[in-house]
Every structure is written in structure tokens, then in C-alpha cells.
Structure 1
Amino acid sequence: MPKRYPPEVREKALRLVLERLDEFESPYAAAKVIGPLVDVHYETLRVWVKKAMTEGSRPGKESAGGLAAAEREELAKLRKEVRDLKQANEILKLASAFFARELDPRHR
């Protein structure tokens, strides 16, 4: 017998997957990772995500703030780029601190 999930659980799980979808290869991969975290079977979550994506809306929001599909896609791409650039900046900060310590004559 299928397990019934409360609407709050469904909305929370969907929101988590849709917000982090660009971090995964596919909706299936996202559901596989996030499903156990919210105590929802990954296949059930994948079906919910697929349905939400075909409807073009996000749970609890009005059609993604009125953005067209191309705009949503570009926004997701830009958010991913920003996240990658922030990560690269952190790596560069750590590397510059490391090399500054190595070149410091008091360090030897």
C-alpha cells in the first residue's frame, strides 16, 4: 500500500529539490540524494519533481515569479556560475595565505 505524505512534507521536499536541481546531473540524482533527507522515497520525489517541472511552477509560489522558461534557465545558470566563482575565490584566498606564509622571512 502506498505511503501518503502530508502536503507540508511534499512542498518542503519539492522546494529542496527544485532549489538545488542545478547541483545535480538530473532530477533523478537530486531525488536520490534529497529523498532520504526528508524521509520521502526517492522515486516518489522524482515523480513529484517531474510533475512540478512540467507544470512549470514551484510549490507555494506563483509560476516562479512570472519568469519565462528561458529566464528561469538563465537564472539557474547564473546562480551556478556565482556559486562556482565564490568557491574559486575561497580557494584563491587560501592559496594566497599559504604562499604569503611561505615567503615570509620570519617564518623560517
Structure 2
Amino acid sequence: MNKSPKFSPEVRERAVRMVQEHRADYPSLWAAIESIAPKIGCAPQTLNDWVKKADVDSGQRPGTTTSDALRIKELER
């Protein structure tokens, strides 16, 4: 079952950018996420997942990047 994404990549990028730009205005990352998520129209946990993935992709957090995950998926086929 393929689920179409509710949010476009542009909206996701904008939301992550908003969190990163306003992180210092809040006492914690979660507080920033809880404040910004309703403005985007998503759940705070969804936005938190996007922020984490962006941190991994930019090298600020350890983990498998999006491009590596796609490459692994292709190789497994």
C-alpha cells in the first residue's frame, strides 16, 4: 500500500528551517517544535522526525543519510 505524502518536500524543508532558525528563541528544541508544528499543520512528532533526519543528512547527528538509505534499498533489490 503506497501512501502519498501529505506534505511536499518544500513544506518539510521550510518547517525544518523554521525550527533551526528559531531554536534559540525557545528553552528547548522540543518547545520550538511544539510551537512551529501547528503553524505547518503537522504533529510535533512528525516535525521532530523531519528535524532529526535533516540533522543526519547535514552530518550534525550520526545515522544513515537519506541518500545512503536509498542506495542501500536499490542495492538490496
TM-score by length of 2: 0.60
Does the residue aligned with 1:4 lie in a helix, a strand or coil? Answer: coil
Match of 1:7, as an amino acid? Answer: P
Instruction: Tell me the equivalent position of 2:29.
Output: 27
Conservation of the 8 A alpha-carbon contact between 1:27 and 1:50: no
Give the CA RMSD over aligned residues: 2.2
Instruction: Tell me the equivalent position of 1:9.
Output: 11
Runs of 4 or more above 3 Å deviation: 54-57
Structure 1: which 5+ runs fail to align?
58-108
Distance of aligned partners of 1:43 and 1:25 in 2 relative to their CA distance in 1, 3 Å threshold: same
Q: Percent identity?
A: 37
TM-score by length of 1: 0.45
Aligned residues: 57
The offset of 1:53, in angstroms, is: 2.4
Instruction: Tell me the equivalent position of 2:55.
Output: 53
Bigger radius of gyration: 1
Distance of aligned partners of 1:5 and 1:21 in 2 relative to their CA distance in 1, 3 Å threshold: same
Instruction: Tell me the equivalent position of 1:38.
Output: 40
The offset of 1:15, in angstroms, is: 0.8
Distance 1:49 1:42 in 2: 10
The offset of 1:3, in angstroms, is: 5.9
